[in-house]
Structure 1
Amino acid sequence: MRKADASSALLLCVMMLVSRPSLAQGARALQMDTGGQPLATALTDLARRAERELVIENAAEISRAAPRLNGRYTFDQALPLLLAGSGLTFKRTADGTYVVYLASPLPSLEPESPVALPELLVTARSQNSDIPRTQDDIQPYKVWTAHDVGASHADTLDDFFRTRLSSNAQPFAAIQDPARQNGGSRSEINMRGMGSSQTLVLIDGRRVPSLPSVDNTFLQPDINGVPLSAIDRIEVLTATSGGVYGAGAVAGAVNIVLKRDYRGADLAVTYGDTSRFDARTKRVDGRIGFTPDGGRTDVMIALSDFRGADLRTGERDYPARARARRYANDPATFLADNYVRKPADLARIDLLFAPGLITPWASLLTRESTSSALLSVRHRFGASVEAYLDALALRDEGRSYTSRPYIGIPPSTLLKGVSSSDDGLEQRSRTTTTRVTAGLIVDLPAAWKLNADYTAGQAEVRSLANYHYTPGTFGSYRQSNNLRVFSARLAGTVMDLPGGPLTLSLLAEDRREHAPIPMVEHYDLFFWVNGMPYGVTQSLRSYYAEARAPLIPRDGGHGLLSGLELQLAARHEMMRAVAPANLDDLLFANDDPVDYRQTAPVYTLGFRVFPIPDVMLRGSLATGVVPPPIDQLARVTMRYLASEGGRGASTALQFGLHTSDPKRRGVLIGGEQPLLITFGGSPTAERARSVSVGVVATPRAAPGLRVSVDYTRIVKSREPVVIQGGSAQYFLEHEDLFPGRVIRAPLTDADRAKGYTGGVVTSLDTSAFIIGETISEMVDVQVDYRIATRKAGDLRFSSSATWQPLLRRRAELYHDARNAVGSAQEPLAWRGTASLEWSRGPWLAGLAADFYARYHVPRFGEYKPRADQMTRFQGSEWIPSQIYFDLAGAYRFELPPTAPMHALEARFGIRNLLDRDAPVVAQDYYGMGYSSLADPRGRRFELSLISRF
């Protein structure tokens, strides 16, 4: 009944707002005072107050201050006055949209679009269903343009985010761990080190099918197949915002906006290689846009294909140098830890450390290849209705060769210094993602707009292992996830406030993901360590509203409250997860079906204000939620009897039942009667709350300068914690600490006569405790400065850095929370990137730097003897800080009017300009011998030719 009441109330609110006439009139005069505002902000505020549709091409590039306008102006009077002397001009499209653009654009790394089609500020006609966000928004956003993405010369989006997003704490790329990732090459974004499941990834403001996994969870989507040339901009929120984005946006959200509106054709060919000519890459990107009916219909098709590098251990000496360092720093432990190394082999020890002699054919990097196809079709029915079809298909495939699993390096390899790929394992992994969206945009009365669409998509994961050491044997696995979403968005102006119009955006969404039972051939334990996936469904129904209220104008007469604007976004999420009973007798005796339901209200509340003309203060309070995955919901009960031979022995090993009952000395656990063991997670959604405050300065004394500093604190609670990995033996040995978890039969007189102090154990509950908590604190700093001169060209400086002093986790019941920052595979205390770019005429040159602070050798929470040994092997407690420089350049050729191409541009890039080696890691967690923050390929060159027809 409560759900029905909430839905009825929301529907009534929508009807009232739609029926209310707009109080704003486009031709009326508006009271304005633009002193101290950035030009882009002044233009946006003008359009919102006048209820005009305004598009600013490359808004992030416009950093100059607005001219002072103080008085009453109509929209048509104010717009040319604001653009006077800025080098900007505007045009009005047929449907009344105003497009602001550079009159004489600077050379760009992105081909110039012959026709720019309109985009709405509230409901985007370019199929970005989210409200476009800027770096001066109420919450702290980082925005990259197509120019920024192209200048990075990154191979994939995963490469781009690992080097350019300072808040991304993903410890290594999948391609850097060929063996344990099964040859996978998927992307993963881990904001603040809180886990990839806490970062929401969107394309064009919409969900992408999650990747299914072998442990019955839905993983972050793989976006490596998205071609960089197809990206219009990237919006990254670095704080919790469940009210805006819904479930999953705990550590932040990433929205990748693709280019959709384009007429013309362009073709780009890229070739890259290392300075050693041993890891070449190739890429081809093409795009065409046209109208078949004089402008009512627009069609755009884009295709891309990328072939990545194939780097082997024999082509770099990192594994050999890591072995040499272990031996040099602790030879006794080095020799004792490997059963095939004997003191008699010391005479040959130099051979063992020679580069490339041990598994030189094995992959140091997984060879990755991606391809994509994008389609956008739009058709206008009259002046108020537009239909669109938006489709994408992405493929990301990896291939690797590794040594025989579980066995290690054969003795013959160490003694002879040679190895053969016939003794290894070939692994292939492919993810394919498809998504099709069809929808309508309808102009309603009173300047309201309705956007309704339906999305269907699928993500599929395929894995293949070819065991060369046993000819003719292989294992294969295929699993898919089917997504369907129906959504309806309503947006418009409610009323005119003193600071501008009050806007409201409403959304109703119904989403369902279903992963059926996978297809498996030649079952092998190499693939599955957590049980066989058995078909799961996750659905969510959401109602959302976001209001932006500019309460006070920026006229300088309101003191500290000048320009006060409020944001309120709220969602009501209704989550459900369903899984059938697992009757796999190989692993479990019995299991119950899962049918989990929970509701979660989340919100985002924020403000911004301009206490002085050149300074903006902003702050927000937000909550978020992460639905429990299926593997956490499933509480499995296993029947264990020690006398059942091999099956019982393997189960005992898995759950740590390796000794007698502490209260029944000499009696094996499960040796007297069957024992029921329950394990698993907990049916509780994790909750998060974040606070963010920041300041943005755009001093008039230095036009083109923007500085922002934002502090964010995220507290995530109600996390499930499995004590000691769910070890049944641990619960038995600490029975008094866990009341109700160990159930025994009554103690009999016969038991007392034998000296027993407890009855026979009949059941054990090792499932998770809801005690986990993660607290993250960080400060993000961004500085942008652009200087334009007539003779020397334009100079642009941009930098961003993240200082994260705290990531405190509580992961055990009786242990204090500890700070994980600065440990291996955890967030660094400092990360930053900076770039300097110069352009003049057809020339462009840029230099970029990426900085990574030092970090501890052992991982957070590592077993102390193991941590001490790793430190001894390394010879230091720290992996040193790292800095790498990249160089980029471009030249646009002037072509005669008779040339078949309209434009031709050449781009040139050098990654790791100084060819700095990665720090050697003597014993790490992915076994490649170098710091995963670096690229083992070293210096790389890349050349692109882009032609536009």
Structure 2
Amino acid sequence: MLFKLNRLTQSLVMVGLVLPAMAYAQDAPPTPKKDEGKPQRIEVTGSSIKRVRDEGAVALQVIQAQDLVKQGITSAEQFVATLSSNGNGVDNMTTNQGGDFLNSTADRPHNNGAASASLRGLGAQYTLVLLNGRRLSTHGLNGTSVDLNSIPMAAVDRIEVLKDGASAIYGTDAIGGVINFILKRDYQGLEMTASADKTQHGGGDMYRLSVLGGVGDYEADGYNALFSLTYDTNNRLRGTQRSFQNGYQPDRGLAPDTTGTPFATIGASSGTALSGYYTLPGDTQSYNKANLLALQGDCSAGTDMVAYRGDITGFNNNNKACAYDYGKQWSLMQPVDRFNLVSKANFRLSPDHMLTAEVVASHTESAVEYTPIQLTTKSAGALYPAYIKDANGNLVRSPYYQDLTGLVPGFDNTKDELIRWRCLECGPRQQNTKTDAYRVLLGLEGVLAGDWDYKTGLSYAQSKADTTLGDGYLYQDQLSAAMATGLINPFLKAGESQTPEAMALLEAAKARGAKLYGGQASVAELDATVSHEIYSLPAGAVSMALGLDLRNEKYKFNESESSYPTINGVSAPASLDQASRDISAVFGELDVPLMKSLDLQTALRYDHYNDFGSTTNPKVALRWQPLPELAFRTSYSKGFHAPGFEQLYGGSSTGQFNSDINDPVLCPNGGTDANACGIRPDIVTTSNPQLKPETSKQWSIGLVASPLPWLTSSIDFWNIEINNKIAALSGQALMAHYDQYSQYVVRDENGYITEVDAPIMNQAGAKTRGVDLNVTANVKDGPDTWVASLDGTYTDSYKSRFSANDPWTELVGSFGDAIYGYDLHVRWKHQAMLTWSRGDWSVTGVQSFTGHYRDEVDGFGSGVTSPNAPTWVKSYTLYHLSATYTGFKDTSVTFGVKNLFDTKPSYSAHNVDNVVGAGWDGRVGDPRMRSFTLRVNHKF
């Protein structure tokens, strides 16, 4: 890495100028030693100054490892899902959407195999995830956020969640907050832990085995070495294993919008057997599709087929087709295998200096799965031949040709048919992702002459991921050739099967094992901080910290060795050659006791990015404690977020609309023009090297009260505003704002839409505000101890808009839409826990609550919402119960029941096109339902 020394020198001088000059004119008072009776001062998340934890002026939530055990939590993703401050978005693996390019966004592309945090529901790119206070690499595929699968949970001692902006301390990514996973320190001994989490209804089981060992007493021996190895495995859970996964519930306003069925539907297209719309005798409705089973009133004769319900979807011209309940076939949980390794050693170089060497590594394998492919366009091999050649080269009628002459007016049985066919025989589409991540660190910390605390470290972190195709994907040329033989029968009823010759053709066309894409992200970092009490005021000592942070970030993303257009259903993502950036930062922090009861904390950070410029961000916080039982706190800060490599340099990627749309010019109110009504043009997303960084302003104000010795509570009001928010206009947003963005719609010489360009751009922004509530009670009653806690978040508002000329759109309490995205912002979430303990026993009960919100409106883009669909998705409450017994020698056993009352996810009248869950919402509901947990820990 190369950094300009003169720029760095200027930056250090700039930080020095904002610190009180008198601080440097005095001899610093001696720092009290540990044995002088004062509490030990430690560094906590959100500050570089060592302090007693309760002295902070911002909300810091601390979760101990034993609390995770009581809740049966074994992964970082499970833990983050319990945080009331974390959003319900599409950043986690359980949404099962990461690998689908149709659902990728500009800020979260290529999310296969990754799970992320999203504090305040802002998105994973605004939450900084740290391990022992230092950065990890972003995921090798998406390059924007840390993969929670890489966190070694078995070696975690505690987790600190800072629910406040921290760009002035940590730089980019910290607008929404910080989650800091802190590993065990000075551990001695050897222990093994085995756990199982088995569902009552089958599927989705979880198992874990871990070994943790440590040698050396740091105080007595001058060293400590820790080692941890963990293996986790999660089994697949399929939609067919849960009754609530059902995409056809017309009495509740839900029906699938697809005419790609196992018994194929014939579509209208010029030059084919069904050249355009048709009208049946005695019927005024015109139709553009035809299915023999629908015309016979017997759609249920096909596998998982149902009657198409245009009264629900809004597309009545499809009513002579059938529909397929593809949502029922969706995979609810993908299988995941994780290996995590921690190797860490601390060495005492002298009484005041410690050397740390650390290696953290992980290997994750996941397998996302989607429904079988469907053929819908001519280019996809969906033209079924009217005639084929026999062994003598003569044209003969295709044996499986569906002749609708006499049933459909104008049907021309001399021409090929355009079919919409769901190829169940091809198998479910599978994408397998392997991710290898690691971080190596060499650190030094201690006390310098004059009692200056210091910490410095040199680290390198990398994440490399590759996705290959499993079953279900076929090479387009081979598939088209196979369909042209006429040997494959796309008109099969339930119970019927393809011939061996047809299965051989399909098998030969499969792209199993082809590399879909791969990526690699890395960060090399040198950090250093010093802190000290630099001046004495009547109210106490002024503490200061100065820091330096030098980073080099790299990212590359490459498409497969194959040609993407040759694989059916695989859109071409952008290919990004390696991009890198150098970041140099200096920062300063002050803790000033203005009065005995009033503390001021200030911070200022300057960052220089070699690829887009510099930014300076301050933070100011106050803490006033007029009474021992009462303290007030407030903070104000500015933040920034640099554009991602993919957003800047990723080039173009091509996808398609999830559902049919109508041309806002040629088919504004529906019609019979098959080239303008019910179309699915390509969507091309293009990067933008001219993007500006996103900026933010945020403030919070709150209080902490302890009216009784056993009771502590806090309430904090918070507000965040993001400007220049980076996003790609979705195709639906372009259609909804056509007058404003018509220049991005590409038309052919006849005026028909052929392509919609969705550029990545700086938009107006987003703003959100709300309240955090925390209550903790700790009561000792003879031999019994009761500990109760509640952590809740009320989001009062979350608004977005595209430009300064657009009105703000309120998103809190609504399902989401294709214009502003599908991150869910509920008004109220909380996690409540009650623990009783006596002797060798402890019992813990947990309540997890997510409030109600408005259901999806017009999910198909037709302008129609079924009157049978509920207005609200009901609140969702789960109860968990566990008991721990430690009476066995060196062994503890924990048994628990998750989802004690076997509660189903709340009903939602949507299908899986936009958010996973057919008849329920995968962002909120737990599809596993009741499960039983057992954890055994033995210390040797």
| Normalised TM-score (structure 2) | 0.73
User: Is the partner of 2:608 in helix, strand or coil?
Assistant: strand
Give, in whole Å, the separation in 2 of the partners of 1:165 and 1:361.
31
Conservation of the 8 A alpha-carbon contact between 1:626 and 1:686: yes
Conservation of the 8 A alpha-carbon contact between 1:359 and 1:420: no
Give, in whole Å, the separation in 1 of the partners of 2:733 and 2:199.
48
Matches within 5 A, 1:53-202: 53=34, 75-76=36-37, 121-122=42-43, 134=53, 137-171=56-90, 173-177=92-96, 180=99, 184-202=112-130
Q: Are residue 698 (structure 1) and residue 706 (structure 2) matched?
A: yes
Unmatched tracts of structure 2, length 5 or more? 1-5, 101-109, 260-286, 307-323, 385-399, 401-420, 475-506, 668-684, 746-755, 816-822
Match of 1:718 among 711, 721, 724: 724
Give, in whole Å, the separation in 1 of the partners of 2:573 and 2:933.
42
Task: Tell me the CA shift for residue 346 of structure 1.
Answer: 4.1
Task: Tell me the CA shift for residue 818 of structure 1.
Answer: 1.1
Give, in whole Å, the separation in 1 of the partners of 2:342 and 2:357.
11
Give, in whole Å, the separation in 1 of the partners of 2:902 and 2:824.
26
Conservation of the 8 A alpha-carbon contact between 1:724 and 1:730: no
The residue that corresponds to 1:921 in the other structure is: 908
Give, in whole Å, the separation in 2 of the partners of 1:389 and 1:692.
38
User: Is the partner of 1:191 in helix, strand or coil?
Assistant: coil
Give, in whole Å, the separation in 1 of the partners of 2:190 and 2:233.
23
The residue that corresponds to 1:455 in the other structure is: 459
- CA deviations 1:275-326 (Å, max 9, x no partner) are 2344322111111111399712221101111111221222112333x31x13
Give, in whole Å, the separation in 1 of the partners of 2:761 and 2:837.
58
Match of 2:165 among 240, 263, 267: 240
Letter in 2 for 1:146: A
Letter in 1 for 2:579: V
Give, in whole Å, the separation in 2 of the partners of 1:365 and 1:438.
38
Question: In 2 relative to 1, CA 211–722 (structure 1 residues): closer, same or farther, beyond 3 Å?
Answer: closer
Question: In 2 relative to 1, CA 502–814 (structure 1 residues): closer, same or farther, beyond 3 Å?
Answer: closer
Match of 1:905 among 867, 886, 892: 892
Conservation of the 8 A alpha-carbon contact between 1:726 and 1:766: no
Conservation of the 8 A alpha-carbon contact between 2:531 and 2:543: yes
The residue that corresponds to 2:495 in the other structure is: none
Q: Are residue 778 (structure 1) and residue 770 (structure 2) matched?
A: yes
Conservation of the 8 A alpha-carbon contact between 2:195 and 2:209: yes
- CA deviations 1:431-478 (Å, max 9, x no partner) are 222001102224212211222210011111211112446435233122
Conservation of the 8 A alpha-carbon contact between 2:590 and 2:603: yes
Letter in 2 for 1:916: T
Matches within 5 A, 1:725-736: none
Give, in whole Å, the separation in 1 of the partners of 2:870 and 2:703.
40
Question: In 2 relative to 1, CA 373–804 (structure 1 residues): closer, same or farther, beyond 3 Å?
Answer: same
- CA deviations 1:24-46 (Å, max 9, x no partner) are 34xxxxxxxxxxxxxxxxxxxxx
User: Is the partner of 2:221 in helix, strand or coil?
Assistant: coil
The residue that corresponds to 1:900 in the other structure is: none
Task: Tell me the CA shift for residue 3 of structure 1.
Answer: 5.5
Letter in 2 for 1:315: Q
User: Is the partner of 1:913 in helix, strand or coil?
Assistant: coil
Give, in whole Å, the separation in 2 of the partners of 1:268 and 1:338.
59
Match of 2:634 among 603, 608, 619: 619
Give, in whole Å, the separation in 1 of the partners of 2:451 and 2:460.
30
- CA deviations 1:240-265 (Å, max 9, x no partner) are 22112211211111111111321111
Q: Percent identity?
A: 18
Question: In 2 relative to 1, CA 795–766 (structure 1 residues): closer, same or farther, beyond 3 Å?
Answer: closer
Question: In 2 relative to 1, CA 143–491 (structure 1 residues): closer, same or farther, beyond 3 Å?
Answer: same
- CA deviations 1:696-725 (Å, max 9, x no partner) are 0011xx212001010001111122466675
Provide the aligned C-alpha RMSD in A. 4.3
Q: Which moved more, 1:769-778 or 1:803-812?
A: 769-778
Question: In 2 relative to 1, CA 428–801 (structure 1 residues): closer, same or farther, beyond 3 Å?
Answer: same
Letter in 2 for 1:540: I
Task: Tell me the CA shift for residue 152 of structure 1.
Answer: 1.9
User: Is the partner of 2:116 in helix, strand or coil?
Assistant: coil
Matches within 5 A, 1:471-870: 471=507, 472-474=510-512, 475-476=514-515, 477-516=517-556, 518=558, 520-524=560-564, 526=569, 528-553=571-596, 563-576=597-610, 596-634=611-649, 680=688, 682-699=690-707, 702-720=708-726, 770-791=762-783, 793-812=784-803, 814-824=805-815, 825-858=823-856, 865-866=861-862, 868-869=864-865
Question: In 2 relative to 1, CA 183–349 (structure 1 residues): closer, same or farther, beyond 3 Å?
Answer: farther
Give, in whole Å, the separation in 1 of the partners of 2:221 and 2:44.
21
Unmatched tracts of structure 1, length 5 or more? 26-49, 55-74, 80-97, 100-119, 554-562, 577-595, 639-646, 661-676, 743-763, 896-902
User: Is the partner of 1:849 in helix, strand or coil?
Assistant: strand
User: Is the partner of 2:12 in helix, strand or coil?
Assistant: helix
Give, in whole Å, the separation in 2 of the partners of 1:573 and 1:169.
31
Letter in 2 for 1:285: S
Give, in whole Å, the separation in 2 of the partners of 1:422 and 1:132.
61
The residue that corresponds to 1:437 in the other structure is: 441
Letter in 2 for 1:613: P
Letter in 2 for 1:931: D
Conservation of the 8 A alpha-carbon contact between 2:633 and 2:701: yes
Task: Tell me the CA shift for residue 333 of structure 1.
Answer: 7.8
Question: In 2 relative to 1, CA 384–420 (structure 1 residues): closer, same or farther, beyond 3 Å?
Answer: same
Q: Are residue 260 (structure 1) and residue 185 (structure 2) matched?
A: yes
Conservation of the 8 A alpha-carbon contact between 1:774 and 1:809: yes
Task: Tell me the CA shift for residue 418 of structure 1.
Answer: 12
Question: In 2 relative to 1, CA 904–418 (structure 1 residues): closer, same or farther, beyond 3 Å?
Answer: farther
Conservation of the 8 A alpha-carbon contact between 1:326 and 1:922: no
Q: Are residue 7 (structure 1) and residue 12 (structure 2) matched?
A: yes
Give, in whole Å, the separation in 2 of the partners of 1:305 and 1:733.
54
Give, in whole Å, the separation in 2 of the partners of 1:731 and 1:133.
53
Matches within 5 A, 1:284-303: 284-291=209-216, 295-303=221-229
Q: Are residue 402 (structure 1) and residue 442 (structure 2) matched?
A: no
The residue that corresponds to 1:664 in the other structure is: none
Task: Tell me the CA shift for residue 12 of structure 1.
Answer: 9.8
Give, in whole Å, the separation in 2 of the partners of 1:193 and 1:224.
20
The residue that corresponds to 1:93 in the other structure is: none
The residue that corresponds to 2:32 in the other structure is: 51
Give, in whole Å, the separation in 2 of the partners of 1:913 and 1:220.
34
The residue that corresponds to 1:466 in the other structure is: 470
Question: In 2 relative to 1, CA 734–305 (structure 1 residues): closer, same or farther, beyond 3 Å?
Answer: closer
Conservation of the 8 A alpha-carbon contact between 2:576 and 2:649: no
Matches within 5 A, 1:219-230: 219-230=144-155
The residue that corresponds to 2:250 in the other structure is: 326
Task: Tell me the CA shift for residue 143 of structure 1.
Answer: 1.5
Give, in whole Å, the separation in 2 of the partners of 1:272 and 1:136.
39
Question: In 2 relative to 1, CA 350–539 (structure 1 residues): closer, same or farther, beyond 3 Å?
Answer: same
Letter in 1 for 2:300: R
